[in-house]
Structure 1
Amino acid sequence: MYIDGKWIKTDSILTVFNPATSERIGEVCLVDKQQAENAIQVAKKAFVSWSQKTAAERSSYLKAIADKIEERKEQFAELITKEMGKSIHNARYEVQSAIDYFHWYAEEARRVYGDTIPSSEPSKRIMTIKQPVGVVGAITPWNFPLSMAARKFAPALAAGCTIILKPAPEAPMSAVELFKVFDEVKLPKGVVNLLLGEPEEIASALMESRDVRKITFTGSTEVGKILIRQSADTVKKVSMELGGHAPFIVFDDADLELAVEGLIKSKFASTGQQCVCPNRIYVHESIFNEFAEHLKKKVSSLKVGNGLDESNDIGAMVSESGLAKVHEHVTDAVRKGASVLCGGSRLEDGEYKNGIFYAPTVLADVNEDMIIVKEETFGPAIPLIRFSSEEEVVEKANDTEYGLVSYFYTNDLGRMYRMSEQLEYGMVGVNDPAPFVVQAPFGGVKESGLGKEGGYQGLEEYLETKFVSVKFS
C-alpha cells in the first residue's frame, strides 16, 4: 500500500490469482482502519498545498502520468488480463482509455471558470469562484481496474483534490502499478494514497471521517445505496456509478449485420462483465428468426480461452460466484421455456480445466418471467426477446429500476429522435455499441447512479461553487 509517498508493508497479505489458470500472479499488503485513518490525515494535510498549485502545474503532472502509462502500455494490459481475465484486446482498450482520461483532464484543469454577475447595487460586485471539494475517497471495481481509477484520479487531481483509493480485492495489481507511476512522476507526498484491507474497515474509515468531503464509487447498486446512506451523517458529496440492465433494441428497418456485430462487441467485452453490457435484447418479431440465426452463427465461432492468447475473443470470468450466477440465469430461463441456440454451460475440459470459463450463450424465446430479464446477469449470456411495436418496446425497456445505458438500431430518422428522448437512461447508443468517450459525460439515472464522470461535467463533480460579494463605498 502507498501512504504519504511511501510504500507500506504489513504482515497481512492478499494473494492474487489468474482466473484463467489459477496461477498466483502477485501479492499485496493489507492495511487496517488505523492506517486508513492515518492516510486521511495525510491527504488532508497535502490538500493545503496541492489545491494552491496552479492549473498549469497540476496539468503537467497529469500529462507526465499519461506519458508514463503510454510507455508501459503492454505491461499494463497484460497485468489487467492476468488479474481479472478479460481478453488482451479489451485490456489494451482499457489502458488507452486510462491514458485518454489523464490527457483530457490535463487540459480541463485549465478550464475551471467562475462568473461575474451583474449586481443590483452600484456599490457591490458579485462573483462565483470554483474550488476543489477537498479529500476524496474513491472505491473502484475489478472489471476495469485501471481505467476506473483513472476516471476518478484524473478529474480529482485536475480540480486540486487529494485522493485515497480503495481498489477491488479481486484485481488490485493494476492499482499498485498505477501508483508506481505516481511515485515516478513525483506527485507530492500525500496527494494520492492507496488502501486495501477489510472492506468494511476501510469503507467505515472513509465514510465516518468529516475530513473526507467526497466519495466516488463504481460498483453495485446495493453497495452504492449503503454508501449513500452512510454519507448522510457527514453530508458528503457523492458520485455513484452503479449497476445497469441495458436494453438493446433491434427494429425491423435496422441493418442486421451492423446490429449483430454491435451486439457481440458490446455484450462480450470483458466476458460480459460490464455494467454497460446489453442484458435484454429486444428484436422485432418480423426479423427475429433471421437475426437469431445470424447471431447464433457469429457467436458459435467466437474463441474462448486465456485472455493473453491473441487468437481468443473471450477470456475468463473473474470468479466462481460470477459464473454460478450466469448459469443460474441460463438454467432458470431454460426451465421456463427458453431455448439454447448455442452455449449454455461451463467450459471445463482441456485448456479450461484450471480456469473460470463459460461458453458464450444465446437464448431464444425469452420472456419477462425469467430471472435473466429482471436481473443483471454480468456474464456472457444473450437473451433474445420478441417485440411488435415501438410503444411496446419502450415500455418494456423502461420497466426497470436501472437507467445506465440503452442501445437501439434503426435507420428511421424520426425514430432515432423519439427513442433517444423516451428511453429512461443516462446514455443512449444509436447504431453505436460503444458510445463511451472521455470527452462525454458517463453516468446513469434512476438507481444506476448519481453524478457524471468524463467530459467537463466530470470535473464539476470535484468542485464547489463559492459566492463572493464585495461591497465598497
Structure 2
Amino acid sequence: MVLSIKARRDEAGLSAGELLIDGRWRPAGDGNLWTHHHPATAEEVGTFAIAGVADVDAAVRSARAAFDDGPWPRARAKDRIRVLRRIADGIRGHAEELQTLVALDNGVPVSFGETYAMSVECVADIFEHHAGWVDKIGGETLPGYQGGDHMVFTLREPVGAVAAVIPWNGPLLLAAQKLAPALAAGCTVVLKPSEFATFSVLRLVRIIEEAGLPAGVLNVVTGPGETTGDALINHPLIDKITFTGSRGVGRKVLAAAANGIKRVSLELGGKSPSVVFPDADVYAAATTTMGTVTLGLSGQACVAHTRALVHRDVYDEFLAIVEAMAALVNYGDPFHPETTASPLINERQLDRVLGYIESGRAEGARLIVGGDRLDGELAAGNFVQPTVFADVSNDATIAREEIFGPVLAVIPFTDEDEAIRLANDTSYGLAATVWTADVRRAFRMTKALRAGTVGVNGYQLEPHVAFGGHGQSGLNREGGRSSIEAYTELKTVLIPTSDEMM
C-alpha cells in the first residue's frame, strides 16, 4: 500500500496560512501562495502566504513602532512574566496538535516527540525558564576609579526590533529558543519560519498571541528565504538578526548585519565528533552515535555526531554494532508509533545526500551498509537508507562537510593525541561527545576539544544552558544567561554625588 498522509492532513483542517502584522492576520499583499508538499509522500499539505517586500516592510515597521512607542519594552516585570508563563501553559495544552503539525510539516515521526529536546514539553520549558529571567535582568554598580564623588552603574536594556529566521528541522524548538529570550528582554520580533515547516509555527504564534502579547510585538512573515528572508534581514529598521540554518545562508546574514552594523547571532551547524576510547561502553557509544545520525531527523540536525572517531582496539566492535542498528531503523508513516526516522526534507536535499554518498565511494571510503534511496511503497518520499562508511580519511569530503542526512563516517585513531587532532581538524565546532570510563581523560578531552558543547558518555540539549559553537558553527549563544545578554544592550550610567567635578 502506498504511503499517504491525506487523512491526517484533512483531520488537521488546515486553512491557508496568513501573515501576522500589527496584531492582524492577513494574506500577502500580492496574493502569492506557497504550496507545501510532504517529504514522505509528495502529497500537498497546504498553502500559505508568500510575504513580499511590502509585507515585510509593514511587519518590520509594526515591530519598530511596538518597540519605540508600545507597552511591551516598558512593561513591569510581573506583566511580562505572566504572559510568558501563559504561553508555556498554552503550549502544553496544545501539545498533541502541535506535534501533529510538525509531522505534517517536515515528516519527523510523532514518536520522536517523546525525546525531550524535540518535545513540545521542552518548548514550553524554554518559555517558562525565560520567564524566570525577566525580573533578574540587571546590571552592576562599580566604585569610582578617578575624579570626584560619583556613582557608576550599568543597565541592561532590550536590543530593539529583532529579525528571527528559523529552519525546518526543529521549528517549534528553534522558534522558542529565539522568541522566549527576546520577549523576556522586552524586544519586539519579526519571525520568519522555513517554507518547509510553517504550519506548526503559525499555530505556535497563535498560542503566543492568545496569551496576551500586545499587537505588533510579534509579527510573522512566511515564504522562501530568497525573497521573504532577504527582505527581512536587509531591512534598515531591524536592530538584530538571529538565524539558525546553513553556513551558506549564514554568510548572507552576516553580510546583511555588517552592512547595517546590526547585532547578530548565528547557529550554523556542525560536523560533530563522537570520540570512543577502548575503555568506553562501546555498545552505548555506538547506538547513541548512530542514533543521532539515523533516528528522528535522519541526521538532519546540527548536533548529529556524523564523525565517529574510534580507537583501533574497539573499531571492529563499533562497526558491527552500528551496522546492526542500521537494520532497526523504521521509515514510513510519521504518525505510526513504530516509525523511528524521517525522510529528507525535499528533493534538493535528497540529491545532495546521495551526491555525498557517491563522493564517499569515489574517495575510497569503505561502505559498510546503506548508500541507496528507498523504493517500493516509500518511492514517492525522500528516503535514504542509513549509511555507514568505514576507514574514512579526515580529509575526505564526507568527513569535512555537513551532509545533513543519515550518513556516518567512522575514522580510526591510535591514541589520545591523535583523537584530539582529528576532532579539532574541522572548520566547525558545535558539539562533541567523549566516551571513556576514565574521568581524568574525560576532563582532559573536554578541555582540549574546540566545541561549544561537550558531552561525556552521552549528549543532550537543555533549555537553560548556553548552546552555540566555535569557528564556522556560528556566533554567540542561545539559552540561559547568554540568551538574555544576546537580546540586551549594556548601558553605562555616571551620576555625580557631590558638586566636585568628576
Same fold (TM over 0.5): yes
Q: Does 1:110 align with 2:135?
A: yes
Separation (CA, whole Å) in 1 of partners of 2:263 and 2:408: 37
Q: Does 1:414 align with 2:440?
A: yes
1:403–1:446 CA contact under 8 A, matched in 2? yes
Separation (CA, whole Å) in 1 of partners of 2:314 and 2:350: 31
TM-score by length of 1: 0.96
Question: After superposition, where does 1:12-51 map in structure 2 within 5 Å?
Answer: 12-47=32-67, 48=69, 49-51=71-73
Q: Which residue, 316, 326, 329 being the options, matches 1:302? A: 329
Separation (CA, whole Å) in 2 of partners of 1:302 and 1:209: 44
Q: Which moved more, 1:395-404 or 1:121-130?
A: 121-130
Separation (CA, whole Å) in 2 of partners of 1:289 and 1:314: 26
Match of 2:381 in 1: 355
Matched AA of 2:72? W
Match of 2:23 in 1: 5
Q: Which moved more, 1:293-302 or 1:236-245?
A: 293-302
Q: Does 1:78 align with 2:100?
A: yes
1:137–1:216 CA contact under 8 A, matched in 2? yes
Q: Which moved more, 1:157-166 or 1:390-399?
A: 390-399
1:51–1:161 CA contact under 8 A, matched in 2? yes
Shift of 1:278: 1.0
Separation (CA, whole Å) in 1 of partners of 2:393 and 2:447: 25
Q: Which moved more, 1:424-433 or 1:328-337?
A: 328-337
Unaligned runs of at least 5 residues, structure 1: none
Shift of 1:221: 1.3
Shift of 1:332: 2.0
Match of 2:208 in 1: 182
Q: Which moved more, 1:120-129 or 1:441-450?
A: 120-129
Q: CA RMSD in A?
A: 1.5
Shift of 1:228: 1.1
Shift of 1:198: 4.9
2:111–2:339 CA contact under 8 A, matched in 1? no
Equivalent pairs: percent with the same residue?
Answer: 35
Match of 2:270 in 1: 244
Separation (CA, whole Å) in 2 of partners of 1:214 and 1:386: 43
Separation (CA, whole Å) in 2 of partners of 1:84 and 1:207: 24
1:32–1:198 CA contact under 8 A, matched in 2? no
Q: Which residue, 316, 323, 332 being the options, matches 2:359? A: 332
Match of 2:167 in 1: 141
Separation (CA, whole Å) in 1 of partners of 2:429 and 2:22: 39
Match of 1:429 in 2: 455
Separation (CA, whole Å) in 1 of partners of 2:144 and 2:316: 66
Matched AA of 1:35? D
Structure 1 residues 28 and 62, CA gap change in structure 2 (3 angstroms): same
Shift of 1:322: 1.3
Q: Which moved more, 1:32-41 or 1:191-200?
A: 191-200
Q: Which moved more, 1:105-114 or 1:296-305?
A: 296-305
SS at match of 1:407: strand
Deviation per CA, 1:428-466: give whole Å up to 9, x if none.
1111132x1011100001111111101111111001111
SS at match of 1:137: strand
SS at match of 1:297: helix
Match of 2:10 in 1: none
Structure 1 residues 369 and 426, CA gap change in structure 2 (3 angstroms): closer
Q: Does 1:151 align with 2:177?
A: yes
Shift of 1:92: 4.5
Deviation per CA, 1:240-298: give whole Å up to 9, x if none.
11121111111111111211221133222311100110121111111111111122112
TM-score by length of 2: 0.91
Question: After superposition, where does 1:375-390 map in structure 2 within 5 Å?
Answer: 375-390=401-416
2:394–2:422 CA contact under 8 A, matched in 1? no
Q: Which residue, 86, 91, 103 being the options, matches 1:64? A: 86
Separation (CA, whole Å) in 2 of partners of 1:420 and 1:330: 31
Deviation per CA, 1:101-141: give whole Å up to 9, x if none.
11110111121011111124553111111100100000100
Unaligned runs of at least 5 residues, structure 2: 1-18
Separation (CA, whole Å) in 1 of partners of 2:324 and 2:22: 54
Structure 1 residues 81 and 153, CA gap change in structure 2 (3 angstroms): same
1:307–1:316 CA contact under 8 A, matched in 2? no
Matched AA of 1:210? P
Structure 1 residues 53 and 31, CA gap change in structure 2 (3 angstroms): same
Structure 1 residues 427 and 202, CA gap change in structure 2 (3 angstroms): same
1:338–1:365 CA contact under 8 A, matched in 2? yes
Separation (CA, whole Å) in 1 of partners of 2:73 and 2:249: 30
Match of 1:346 in 2: 373
Structure 1 residues 74 and 221, CA gap change in structure 2 (3 angstroms): same
Shift of 1:370: 2.8
Matched AA of 1:332? S
Deviation per CA, 1:75-101: give whole Å up to 9, x if none.
111111121111212234422221111
SS at match of 1:304: coil
Matched AA of 2:22? D
How many residue pairs end up in the alignment?
A: 471
Matched AA of 1:325? R
Q: Which moved more, 1:319-328 or 1:236-245?
A: 319-328
1:69–1:99 CA contact under 8 A, matched in 2? yes
1:65–1:185 CA contact under 8 A, matched in 2? yes
Matched AA of 1:305? G
Shift of 1:313: 1.4
1:263–1:433 CA contact under 8 A, matched in 2? no
